[in-house]
A and B are shown apart, each in its own frame.
Chain A
Amino acid sequence: MLLLLAVVIGVLYGSAVYLLLRRNIFKLILGLIFLGHATNLLLFVASGLTSGYPAFIRFVTGESESMADPLPQALILTAIVIGLGVTAFALVLVYRFYSVTKTVDLDELSENE
């Protein structure tokens, strides 16, 4: 599981960087989204995987030893929400950029045309 997740994270980071380096501004946004997801997974993996147990203590059985760490999940949840907000803003920004400049080419960003 760990290996699989590590590969997934690597692929996500790789595709994110590839997309960020494209000239199309929409792909830039996709790249940012991928980057965010890769990092959320990294957070999850870096703080240790516990398989098969919920993120709380089962008081019924008293198995306090076997629980997944809830904190990284809370952190990821927060990071996802923040990422959602920023992505939404970025999409609107890109749409405005498109309606003003009528192009999706990032080269339009340079000021001396």
Chain B
Amino acid sequence: MLVLPIILPLLFMVLLIFTRRWLFFQQLFSLLSAVVLTVVSALLLTEVAKEGIMTIQLGAWPAPYGITLVADLLSAIMLITTSFVAVVVMVYSPGFIDNERQTAGYYPLVFGLLMGVNGAFLTGDIFNMYVWYEVMLTSSFVLIALGGSAEQLRGSVKYVTISFVASIFFVSAIGILYGQAGTLNMADLANKMRTWENMPYINGALMLFFVAFSVKAALFPFFFWLPASYHTPPVPITALFAGTLTKVGIYTMFRFYSLFVVQDVMFWKIFLLVIAGLTMSVGVLMAASQFDIRKILSFHIISQVGYMVMGLAIFTTNALAAAIYFTVHNMLSKTNTFLAGGLVFQRLGSYDLKYLGGLYKVAPFLALIFFIPAMSLAGIPPLPGFFGKLFLIKGGFEAGEYLITAVAIAVGFFTLFSMIKIWNEAYFKKTPEDAQKAQPVNRSAIAATTLLAAAVILLGLFAGPVMELSHQAAMQLKDPYHYINAILKQTSP
């Protein structure tokens, strides 16, 4: 059960590689496979919610020696959200990406990416985590360069370089930790850090980890690569990256913070709070000066990631629960805004707000499916972004972190400003005279975006049950002994 989210994408990928000239088969099969993945993740989530943390020892090697796969609620929630985003992108892609790219291996690469992402969510071993990161990154390298236009190549060179350097930080940190503790199992490491007094070099290794993950998640000083490369490939690829790839960095940060931060807790807390505040405000301010829809949205990825780190840094059960809920909301809404931006491009042939306009008049439905996720990102009730921010701010006040909470509220206003800017320019204002003639938009692409917008609304309407689930996930995260015991206990005879 636990290996399925990793094995299935691998099988699908292999099959898709060998059939990559049969376009229709590729489209249909990828969609079905993504649905199968979602069903598997849903089953996993119900089982984890019922039975508690699930583990499996690969190759039947007992816990600290072999590679462990673990699914707690956080992993399961991330898995199902990722698979759902994949389903939507698979519906969207056939009508948007040109046939040349589709037959050049787009579909197998997507499943390679999903395998890496799912592996990173499930693994309980730091080196194995690195390997899954590389699986995911290598697939994303090829995806971002796929097609090879000059713009894409420029973006890819930056993306590959920064990702490679981040991976180097990751491996060095693993080496240093292994040299200290002699183990790679995350539960065992966490346990040893708690039982051995003053293990040296931990903070150094953690700082290296922090750099590696914050490059991936695009946190404050390491975010410049994201808006420089994410807007270059076709929109479904960007949407997939925004919805899954950057959130893996966040997931790992959650996991490592809860397990490994035992020394100098106050330092890490203040450090992360400062980073979170700067990430939120710098991202949102830089978004305000952009005129390309994809660039505005890319900068908003950064500012939204700040909210998640804020929840993590406060580290009370309520704030963590809010951060998890916010992450789920963000994965859906962010993907949705990108896909809606792609529809604008299909309709009017540009992403530049200067050449757009009047969409509300000619295509009110397109306007609606952009409006829903955009307002959700801005935090308007009853959409999920509102609840996410509300609970985060509530968590901040409860913990007495007033400064960061004030920053979070202010950033919310600026987000609203940016979203209204896109709305006014692309949908409301009169069509500029030099705009291109309106083109018909692909039906399946509209269907995909509508599906995602519906999911965003549902996430808002069922905020109670989802929040309850995130609350349980946060409790597991708050007390790392749940995680440690689930892995180490069962192997002692």
Q: Bound state CA distance, A44 and B172, in angstroms? A: 10
Known contacts A42-B172, A46-B175, A93-B145; is A82 also within 8 Å of B154 by CB?
no
B156 adjacent to chain A (CB < 8 Å): yes
Bitwise, B409-447 to A at CB < 8 A (1) or not (0) is 000000000000000000000000000000000000000
B131 adjacent to chain A (CB < 8 Å): yes
A75 adjacent to chain B (CB < 8 Å): yes
State how many residues of chain B have any CB contact under 8 Å with chain A.
30
Instruction: State whether B165 touches A94 (Cβ < 8 A).
Output: no
Residues of B within 8 A of A46 (CB): 175-176, 178-179
Known contacts A86-B164, A89-B160, A93-B145; is A39 also within 8 Å of B175 by CB?
yes
Known contacts A32-B164, A90-B164; is A78 also within 8 Å of B131 by CB?
yes
Which residues of B91-144 have CB atoms within 8 Å of chain A's CB atoms?
A: 127, 131, 134, 137-138, 141-142
| Contact pick for A93, options B131, B153, B176, B178, CB 8 Å | B153
Instruction: State whether A96 touches B148 (Cβ < 8 A).
Output: yes
Q: State the majority secondary structure of interface residues on A.
A: helix
Instruction: State whether B134 touches A82 (Cβ < 8 A).
Output: yes
Known contacts A89-B142, A93-B157, A109-B157; is A47 also within 8 Å of B172 by CB?
no
Known contacts A46-B178, A96-B153, A109-B154; is A35 also within 8 Å of B171 by CB?
no
Which residues of A17-60 have CB atoms within 8 Å of chain B's CB atoms?
A: 20, 25, 28, 32, 35-36, 39-40, 42-44, 46-48
Q: How large is the interface on A (under 10, 10 to 19, 20 to 34, 35 or more residues)?
A: 20 to 34
- Minimum CB–CB distance from A13 to chain B (whole Å) comes to 10
- Minimum CB–CB distance from B134 to chain A (whole Å) comes to 5
Residues of A within 8 A of B153 (CB): 93, 96-97, 100-101
Instruction: State whether A89 touches B176 (Cβ < 8 A).
Output: no
Q: Which residue of A lies closest to B231 (CB)?
A: A111
Q: Bound state CA distance, A100 and B149, in angstroms? A: 8
| Contact pick for B174, options A43, A82, A85, A106, CB 8 Å | A43
Instruction: State whether B179 touches A48 (Cβ < 8 A).
Output: yes
Bitwise, B155-168 to A at CB < 8 A (1) or not (0) is 01110110011011
Q: Which residue of B lies closest to A92 (CB)?
A: B145
Q: Bound state CA distance, A90 and B184, in angstroms? A: 29
Instruction: State whether B160 touches A82 (Cβ < 8 A).
Output: no
Residues of A within 8 A of B265 (CB): none
Can you name 17 A-B residue pairings with CB atoms under 8 Å? A20-B161, A20-B165, A35-B168, A39-B172, A40-B171, A46-B176, A46-B179, A47-B179, A72-B175, A75-B178, A82-B167, A86-B141, A89-B138, A90-B161, A90-B164, A93-B160, A100-B148
Top 4 closest A-B pairs, CB basis? A43-B175, A46-B179, A46-B175, A47-B179
Q: A42-B172, A46-B179, A90-B161 are in contact. List 12 more A-B contacts (CB 8 A).
A: A39-B172, A42-B175, A42-B176, A47-B175, A72-B178, A82-B167, A86-B141, A93-B157, A96-B148, A97-B153, A97-B154, A97-B157
B residues engaging A (CB < 8 A)? 127, 131, 134, 137-138, 141-142, 145, 148, 150-151, 153-154, 156-158, 160-161, 164-165, 167-168, 171-172, 174-176, 178-179, 184
A residues engaging B (CB < 8 A)? 20, 25, 28, 32, 35-36, 39-40, 42-44, 46-48, 71-72, 75, 78-79, 82, 85-86, 89-90, 93-94, 96-97, 100-101, 106, 108-109, 111
